[in-house]
């Protein structure tokens, strides 16, 4: 069914959440309007008492329920539950009903991060109330064309790890601004936050992306992005750096943070205004690489691009947006949805499910992609 953003949502009451390392974001929406938002803090000492993230499940449920009760939000007043559901593995995008199969899979997937608790927390609320729970455009959504997966290193293939929920929500919003549905348009979306993901969306599917988790694509505020391989291999075997240090540069301390000492775009712009030439060239380089990636994905879509969408926190910077537009505006109109719309995306997906305007799928645990059968090639490499 069409993923269309309607102008007039029914006033369904949707609870959304997103578990993080030390807190859980929770919000309640009535239609499209947030009526309650909280960042529920979890006691670090209490969290430290659990050996694994999955062991935190009941503790987080209890903490969230106390926060809701203090705000006079009752679970029985909610029409559906929806949120960020890590650990589901590669699937097509869209809306999945959260059931026991989903919960069993994520709690036993081997991933030790609180993101795996999203589905089980939502399912516990659904079980208590008899209302449905949904996973909307879950973070491991993988819809890549096969040709986009191939690399020149046998056994190493590209996978899809991007800001899927926010990317698709912004694409749905942009389609609505054109009077169309998401599966009627081609767009390129760049999410520029702590990580930086760029994806080509063709008629409702993300057919090519960089892999923000594995370290490909433009460099980001705190991630290295694509770098020449041989120098990194030389560093890895030099004896001067351990694996953790190198992996941290790739995923936590590289990018703007490693180059100029901060990943705060506002602080960097202040330094640029004060005449810091190095900060200026580094910040422009991030925008330059983002524009290059957008241009490459225009080729993926054979030049048939209805819009270029910038989102994420850095996309609030008008100078950054102008730099991108100057270089790729000839491809298609450039629009900015600055910030993050994951909670809104979870809520609007739940509304589409309740209204029946988008199909709700049943999760099987069977991955949408699980490697190629290539006789003679190296085995698939896991990071």
Q: What is the pLDDT of residue 14?
A: 98
Question: 8 falls in which pLDDT band (50, 70, 90)?
Answer: very low
Residue position matching structure tokens 């995306």: 345
Query: Which has the closest alpha carbon to 268: 286, 291, 292, 251?
Result: 286
Closest CA to 367 of 168, 142, 173: 142
Q: Of the candidates 159, 107, 167, 165, which has an alpha carbon nearest to the alpha carbon of residue 134?
A: 165
When the pLDDT of each residue in the chain is averaged and rounded to a whole number, the result is 94
pLDDT of amino acid 376: 53
173-225 pLDDT, tens digit each: 999 999 999 999 999 999 999 899 999 999 999 999 999 999 999 999 999 99
| Residue 297 · residue 200 · CB < 8 Å | yes
Average the pLDDT over 367-381 and give the result.
71
pLDDT score at 32? 83
The residues, any chain, with a CB within 8 Å of residue 330's CB and separated by 6 or more, are: none
Helix (H) or strand (E) holding 248: helix 243-248
Confidence band for 296, pLDDT divided at 50, 70 and 90? very high
Average pLDDT over residues 5-11: 58
Which residue did the predictor score with more confidence, 10 or 361? 361
pLDDT score recorded for residue 9: 52
CA atoms of 310 and 333, how far apart (whole Å): 11
């Amino acid at each position: 069914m069409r993923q269309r953003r309607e102008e007039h949502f029914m006033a369904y009451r949707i609870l959304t959440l997103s578990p993080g390392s030390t807190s859980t974001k929770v919000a309640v929406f009535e239609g499209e309007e947030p009526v309650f938002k909280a960042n529920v803090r979890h006691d670090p000492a209490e969290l430290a008492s659990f050996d694994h993230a999955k062991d935190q499940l009941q503790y987080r449920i209890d903490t969230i329920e106390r926060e809701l009760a203090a705000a006079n939000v009752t679970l029985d007043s909610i029409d559906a539950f929806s949120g960020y559901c890590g650990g589901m593995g590669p699937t097509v995008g869209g809306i999945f009903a959260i059931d026991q199969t989903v919960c069993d899979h994520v709690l036993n997937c081997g991933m030790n991060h609180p993101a795996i608790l999203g589905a089980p927390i939502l399912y516990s609320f659904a079980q208590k109330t008899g209302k449905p729970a949904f996973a909307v455009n879950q973070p491991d959504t993988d819809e890549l064309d096969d040709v986009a997966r191939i690399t020149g290193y046998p056994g190493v293939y590209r996978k899809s790890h991007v800001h899927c929920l926010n990317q698709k929500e912004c694409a749905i919003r942009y389609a609505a601004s054109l009077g169309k549905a998401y599966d009627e348009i081609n767009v390129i979306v760049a999410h520029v936050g702590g990580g930086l993901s760029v994806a080509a969306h063709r008629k409702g599917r993300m057919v090519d992306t960089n892999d923000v988790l594995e370290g490909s694509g433009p460099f980001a505020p705190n991630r290295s992005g694509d770098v020449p391989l041989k120098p990194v291999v030389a560093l890895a075997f030099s004896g001067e750096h351990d694996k953790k240090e190198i992996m941290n540069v790739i995923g936590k301390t590289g990018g703007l943070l490693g180059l100029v000492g901060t990943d705060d775009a506002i602080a960097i712009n202040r330094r640029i205004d004060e005449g810091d030439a190095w900060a200026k060239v580094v910040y422009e380089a991030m925008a330059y690489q983002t524009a290059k990636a957008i241009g490459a994905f225009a080729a993926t879509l054979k030049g048939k691009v209805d819009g270029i969408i910038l989102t994420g926190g850095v996309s609030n910077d008008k100078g950054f947006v102008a730099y991108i537009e100057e270089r790729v505006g000839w491809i298609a109109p450039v629009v900015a949805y600055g910030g993050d719309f994951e909670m809104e995306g979870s809520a609007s997906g739940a509304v589409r499910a309740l209204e029946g305007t988008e199909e709700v799928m049943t999760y099987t645990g069977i991955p949408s992609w699980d490697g190629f059968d290539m006789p003679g090639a190296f085995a698939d490499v896991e990071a």
